[in-house]
Amino acid sequence: MVWKIGIGFRNKSFDAVVFSDKTWYLLPIIVLLMVLNWAVEALKWKILIKNLKPLRFKEAFAAVLAGVSTGIITPNRIGNFIGRTVLLDKEIKIKATLLTLLANLSQFVVTLFFGCVGLLLLGGTYLQNAQIVLIFVGIFTLGVGLAVYINPLLINRRPFNFFFSDKIIDGITFISATKIQLKLRIIGLSALRYLVFVTQYVLLLIAFDQQESILLFYGSIMVVYLLMTLIPSLFFGKLFVREAAALFVLNQIGIPDAIILITGFLMWLINIALPSLVGAGVLMSKK
């Protein structure tokens, strides 16, 4: 059983949005996965900051949501460190900020890795020469990101450290001392979080009665996130970059424009906008 809702575009790909009979139970699952998504990120933050300032899970979760709120209005969401560190003592803020960047870098590395896997899963179904270029760029960027993640001291060299203060240099030395076992654990949690929000995207497409193979869905969405990662964005949590990347990739497997735009917007609404509102409430309550 399906439901169709017409929307007012003349292009035939915008004639109707179709909901499947699975929608009523898939949407609550997608929302619950949002909670899991940020819970995993909170666990990453709790583990990383343990030696600097031990936090309860509830405190780490609140800090992560506050970071979502401040990150949404900054390029590539790099401002998430503001919300995470706003309530910390001034003496440890720089080190905490660098730990936030380390957490972000772990997610960056995982996204690049799975994006390249997605390209390989899709094989020769589309992109052709562009696919080869993307794999090359993705692997090169992955290598650089992984090297810096494992050994942050690599950026404490000229010309990178020309403008670094003594506190920043001390902070880089601090995060470089993080044990490799802990860094691998953070990578594992980043991979889990990645699979959670990719699964959300797949479930949304199924909720809108899209019936391609699950493997094709996963491979395509992995490529979408790869493009999102490689393409810089300004504000609103990569909302418009996601839609542009999704239109480019998902059109190739026959997903209508309307479904692509609506699922992309819902992903942003559920995973970024709603948590950022909660995070704003956390920041206001702590003032």
Q: What is the pLDDT of residues 211-238, one digit of tens each?
A: 888 999 999 999 999 988 887 654 554 5
Q: Which of 33, 55, 30, 28 is nearest to 44 (CA)?
A: 55
- Res 7: pLDDT: 38
**Residue spans of the chain under pLDDT 50:** 1-15, 234, 237
Contact 65/272 with Cβ under 8 angstroms? no
Between CA 221 and CA 230 the distance in angstroms is 14
Give the tens place of pLDDT for each residue, 69-117: 888 877 666 678 888 888 788 888 889 999 999 999 999 999 999 999 9
Give bridge partners of residue 212 from the DSSP assignment: none
- Res 8: pLDDT: 36
Locate tokens 């905490």: which residue? Answer: 96
Locate tokens 């803020």: which residue? Answer: 93
